[in-house]
Amino acid sequence: MLTIAFYILATLTIASALMVLFSKSPIYSVLWLVVCFFSITGHYILLDADFLAIVNLIVYAGAIMVLFLYVIMLMNLNKESEPQKPMWLKFASVITGCLLMVVLAGALKGYSELPPAIITEEFGTAKGVGKVLFTEFLMPFEVASILFITAMVGAVILGKKHVND
C-alpha cells in the first residue's frame, strides 16, 4: 500500500518538475514548483520525517516560493516570451541531462537491498530531531543564525537603490 502511495507521489513530483521546465510563463513555473514541493512533503511523510515535512512546507513552499513570486511580479514577467536557445543546444542539453541520470542511477544502483532499519517512536518527530540537533549539532545550529544575519544584511544592502550623485 505504501508502495502505491510512493508511486503516485513520485509521478506527481516528476510531472510537476517537468512542467516547471516547460511552462511558458514564469508564474506558471513557480506554481508548478509549489506543487512539486507539496509532493516532496508527501515523500517526507512516507519516510517518517514528520518534522522535516512541515518545515519543508513552511520554508520552501511558504517562504521561498513566495519570494520568487514577489521577484517575478517586481520584474513584470507576466507573459514574456524569452528568446529560445537554438535547437541543437536544446538537444544537447536534454541528452546531457539524460546521460547524467543514467550515470547517477548506474552508479548508485544496487546499493543495497537492505530493509529499512528499525526505528524508535521518536524518529523524525520534532522531539527526536530536536534532541539530536541541540546536542550533537549545537554548533552548526548557532552558526546557522550567523549565516542568516549575513544573508539578511547582504540582501538589504544589495536591494538598496543607489542614488546617483
User: Closest separation between CB of residue 29 and other proteins, Å?
Assistant: 6
Shortest Å, Cβ 163 to other proteins: 13
- The nearest distance, CB 44 to other proteins, in angstroms, is 6
Sign of CA dihedral 139, 141, 145, 148: positive
* DSSP tag of 84: P
Whichever of 121 and 165 has its CB closer to other proteins, that residue is 121
* Smallest separation, CB 165 to other proteins (Å): 18
Closer of 118 and 165 to other proteins (Cβ): 118
CA distance 98 to 94: 6
Element (H, E) at 27: helix 26-46
In one-letter notation, the amino acid at residue 131 is: K
The gap from C-alpha 133 to its chain's centroid, in whole angstroms, comes to: 21
CB of 129 to other proteins, least distance (A): 6
Q: Which one, 84 or 165, has the nearer CB to other proteins?
A: 84
Q: Which three cell numbers stand for residue 79?
A: 507573459
- Nearer to other proteins (CB atom), residue 159 or residue 165: 159
Nearer to other proteins, 18 or 165 (CB): 18
DSSP state of 57: I
CA atoms within 13 A on the CB side of 155: 8
Q: Quick check: helix, strand or coil at residue 23? A: coil
